[in-house]
Amino acid sequence: MKRSIASILMLLLVFAASAAFGKEPPKYNWKTATLAPDGIGWSKHMKELVFPEMEKTTKGDLKVKIYWGGVMGDEEQYLQKMKIGQLQGAGLSAQGTVMACPDMAALELPFLFRNYLETDYVRVKMARSFDKLMARNGYFLIGWIDQDFDQIYSSHRPLNTVESFRGTKFVTWYGPMEVEMLKVLGAEPIPVNVPELPAAVRSGVAEASIGPAVWVVGAQLYSSIKYVNPVKIRYSPATIILNLKTWESLPDSYRSDFYTKRMVIGFRYCNLIRKDNERFLQSMIKYGVRRTDMAPGEVKALMAKTREVWGKTQGKLYHKDFLDEIVKLLEEFRAGKRLTLDDVLAMSYLPGTYNMEPGQRAGLEEQVIKTMSEFGLKDGDIITVKRK
């Protein structure tokens, strides 16, 4: 009798435990990593926007675990761990992005882009090209996002003339494109891994660095920096990627649903990080970091000098035809051509399965228009809205 009662109690405990845990555990468990510290900029929006949308798309079948702040190593290690299945995804800076997809180095050429309107135009027009490049290397591109139009930071003197770069010790983590640019300017590159960068700046091993405002604040370097030059010397892409096999293991319905959201999620994410970067830059200036703008003539001279980097890296860091396509699109945009809703919609379905219902199309149109409004953009700034 006692044994029967004990058995019944055990069954009740098991039932109660099952009820407490609720529904079945997720079918898909992803581990991802990023250098971004938790709770700031990219990580905040990744946690609050990107992965929750993916979990929602999979109706609770997906759970994403994110390792913040470099606890899983550097970005080269992330890619290695993705290949052997220890990680399924990663949020990458410009450095890691180029490791995953070398041709994306072309996006980082000095003074290639003038503003974010241009990057967004290219982002939409070349979305399929970037997907194919990533897939060729074994990755799925969840999103091409922004690192920033990086600023130039210095601790010893202002760097607001071309001559002032000569002999300056720059800590560099960004990769061969940055090293080549610094050499062209006569600066002295000091290569380090990202985790070592803050110590190199604080200790005086280096006098200057190039990077995004959010990262400078997140690394608490603003107390070691005296000057910032906000010239748009380069645009730096960032990406969120998955192992391609991990992506393809999802049912078509989940992948298709995410595709319909991907472009709008990307725009919203970029809008948030751009606001963060501007806010953090202004906060550093208020804190006491001195803004040192370049005179128009110096900007022109800097553009001319760094143009040498284009010739030195073409065919080595990226393919010429890839850059040619980007330049052609920029010429279109600067001549007045704009995106249409159809351009955005065409990037919002699973390749080879265009079957968007009229209701889906109308809903996506509304999301695009709303997102552009959140950016503070008017009709015709980047997208010309023509309703059917």
**DSSP category for residue 84:** T
* Pair of tokens at residue 167: 């002999």
Please report whether residue 38 resides in a domain.
yes
Residue 1: other Cβ atoms inside 10 A: 5
* Pair of tokens at residue 315: 């065919």
pLDDT of 387: 52
242 beta partners: 89, 140
Please report whether residue 210 resides in a domain.
no
Please report whether residue 95 resides in a domain.
yes
pLDDT of 329: 98
What is the domain extent for residue 85?
A: 25-101+113-146+237-269
**10-residue stretch averages of pLDDT, the chain, 388 residues long:** 45 40 76 88 84 84 91 95 97 94 97 96 93 96 92 95 97 93 97 83 90 86 92 95 95 86 85 91 95 98 98 96 97 94 75 64 75 77 69
Please report whether residue 192 resides in a domain.
no
Report the first-to-last Cα separation within the chain, whole angstroms. 76
Tally of structural domains, the chain: 1
Q: Which amino acid, residue 305?
A: K
pLDDT of 12: 38
pLDDT of 10: 44
Domain CATH code at residue 256: 3.40.190.170
Number of residues in the chain: 388
Residue 299: other Cβ atoms inside 10 A: 17
pLDDT of 264: 82
Q: By the 8 A CB rule, do 181 and 217 touch? A: no
Q: Please name which of 205, 203, 202, 232 lies closest in space to residue 216, comparing C-alpha atoms.
A: 202
Write down the residue that tokens 């897939």 correspond to: 135
Alpha carbon distance 290, 277 (integer Å): 17
Please report whether residue 124 resides in a domain.
yes
Residue 81: other Cβ atoms inside 10 A: 18
Strand order in the sheet with 235-243: 62-67, 28-34, 89-92, 235-243, 139-149
Please report whether residue 160 resides in a domain.
no
Give the angle subtended at the CA of 97 by the CAs of 188 and 269, to the nearest 5°: 115
Longest dimension (CA), the chain: 95
Name the pairing type of β-strands 62-67 and 28-34: parallel
Q: Please name which of 273, 209, 284, 261 lies closest in space to residue 237, comparing C-alpha atoms.
A: 273
pLDDT of 367: 75
What is the pTM (predicted TM-score) of this model?
0.88
Q: By the 8 A CB rule, do 235 and 212 touch? A: no
Please report whether residue 174 resides in a domain.
no
Q: By the 8 A CB rule, do 51 and 43 touch? A: no
Alpha carbon distance 36, 267 (integer Å): 20
pLDDT of 265: 86
* Pair of tokens at residue 81: 């761990």
Long-range contact pairs involving 318-322 (C-beta distance under 8 Å, separation at least 24): 318/102, 318/103, 318/104, 318/105, 318/106, 319/103, 322/103, 322/106, 322/129
Half-sphere exposure of 276 (CA within 13 A, CB side): 23
Please report whether residue 304 resides in a domain.
no
Q: By the 8 A CB rule, do 50 and 251 touch? A: no
